[in-house]
Structure 1
Amino acid sequence: MKDKLSDKISSQIRADISSGKFKPGQIIPAEPELMKIYNVGRSSIREAIKALAMAGVLSVQQGRGTTVNAHFDVEPIDTRLKRADFDEINAVRQLLEKELVKLAVTNHNATNLQAMQQYLNERKEAIQHENRQACMDADIAFHMAIARAGGNSVLVDLYQSFTLIIRDFFASREPQGISHFAMSHHLHQQLFDAIKSKKEKQAQQVLQQILDNNY
């Protein structure tokens, strides 16, 4: 219970830094004052400070106190990604896709395959009905199902952040229509078949075709 409480306090201190209550370069209050501010015991404060120091948010110096690091960036990662260069975003997304497909080939189970097949069917149906939004949604869901099949939740979260930004980019720049999805559907089917058959080399080759054409 103590660990969970210290995590909560860590989040509250981060939030107070983000709001400007504690500014970069500023020495935060001593333990007794922090105990009053957050209404918790000394051990929870110490664990929270330790965690924030390890994360680079705070700097603890004997005899001087605990300082908010001047270089600490409180801007959310999603906001930072939205400002990043598209080519850099796309390059990282491609690296993630390759690793996620590799993991999916090895670690997928029947439930994962069922989800992939479902979204692939929805993608095809959306193409047939010329519903562009449904195509986009099913396409993202299909790739997210592959990501989840890999079994690494951290990679899944990272990939989702990158994928949403890529989607918004193409949504604002591509001509309306479903030809982009229709031309690539056979490749997505081949990717699914390769993952299902645990053929990593084939899966990576098909994925590369998808990536090369920004499908």
Structure 2
Amino acid sequence: MPQIQRTPLADQAADLLLDRIRSGEWELGQKLPGETTLAPQLGVGRSTVREAIRQLAGRGVLATRQGSGVFVTALDVPEDWDAVLRRADIVSIIEARIAIESEAAALAAERRTAADVRAIRRALDARAVATASLEEHVDADTAFHRSIVVAAHNPILLELFDGLTPRLRQAMIEMLRIRAGFGGTADHARHVLLSDTVAAHDARAAAAESRAHLSELKGALS
């Protein structure tokens, strides 16, 4: 077993444990050996092992279960979300939108309040007149789709949508530049239909309309 050569010891111990997890020594959900076993393997004291485990637990790789031990909960440190989004291509972003927004549309149709419908209609009207620039149109379009996600009353879906928004805005601007146009009567009609299905409590139609609309955007890139 490689041993630690320099400080900080807890950081080095955490790195060595993470390397062993990445190499497949322990599988997802598997229990790690106890501190008395790991400490001599790593060449550190038990308190250093405990600190290393705390570090990896904070990074989502390990979890301590009271009275049971320490278990592997991820096989690597999750990559920074912003870095993933910056690297993602337009198709990947649209596919993520399909997953988030089609479910959000269905939930919005089931859960929307009268206030939600009014907010969706206002966003729809604002989208219809946001034609001065491509950027203005994309921002108004994003606000409309966000109003539907808000109406789903699911904070996780809303957080995912908001997390996508900066990269989504960039991707949509890039895509519409490729298409050399935005808006139009047919496009607006699709958004009217989506808002109508949500207002009508038609969850199946809302999900289908959201998926169809975004799938058309994806298809336009291929």
Same fold (TM over 0.5): yes
Identify which of 192, 200, 210 aligns with 2:213. 210
Change (3 A) 1:181 1:49: same
Contact 1:24-1:70 at 8 Å conserved across structures: no
Identical residues among aligned pairs (%): 23
TM-score (ref. length: structure 2): 0.62
AA aligned to 1:52 is A
Query: What residue is the counterpart of 1:187 in the other structure?
Result: 190
Aligned residue pairs total 176
Higher radius of gyration, 1 or 2: 2
For the aligned residue pairs, the C-alpha RMSD in angstroms reads 3.9
Query: What residue is the counterpart of 2:16 in the other structure?
Result: 25
Contact 2:198-2:206 at 8 Å conserved across structures: yes
Unaligned runs of 5+ in 2: 1-10, 18-41, 65-69
Unaligned runs of 5+ in 1: 1-19, 35-47, 61-65
CA offset at residue 56 of structure 1?
Answer: 3.4
AA aligned to 1:162 is L
Change (3 A) 1:50 1:98: same
Identify which of 76, 79, 82 aligns with 2:83. 79
CA offset at residue 116 of structure 1?
Answer: 1.0
AA aligned to 1:185 is H
CA offset at residue 149 of structure 1?
Answer: 0.8
CA offset at residue 153 of structure 1?
Answer: 0.4
Contact 2:89-2:171 at 8 Å conserved across structures: no
Distance 2:14 2:163 in 1: 28
Between stretches 165-174 and 70-79, larger displacement belongs to 70-79
Distance 1:125 1:146 in 2: 19
Contact 2:86-2:167 at 8 Å conserved across structures: yes
Identify which of 110, 117, 123 aligns with 1:119. 123
Residues 98-150 of structure 1: CA deviation (Å, up to 9, x unaligned): 110000000111221121111111111213xx332221111101111101111
Q: Is 1:201 matched up with 2:204? A: yes
Distance 1:172 1:131 in 2: 13
Moved over 6 A (4+): 26-29
Query: 1:163-178 to 2 correspondence within 5 Å?
Result: 163-175=165-177
Distance 2:172 2:151 in 1: 25
Q: Flag the structure with more relative contact order, 1 or 2, with Cα contacts below 8 A and sequence separation at least 6.
A: 2
Contact 1:113-1:196 at 8 Å conserved across structures: yes
TM-score (ref. length: structure 1): 0.64
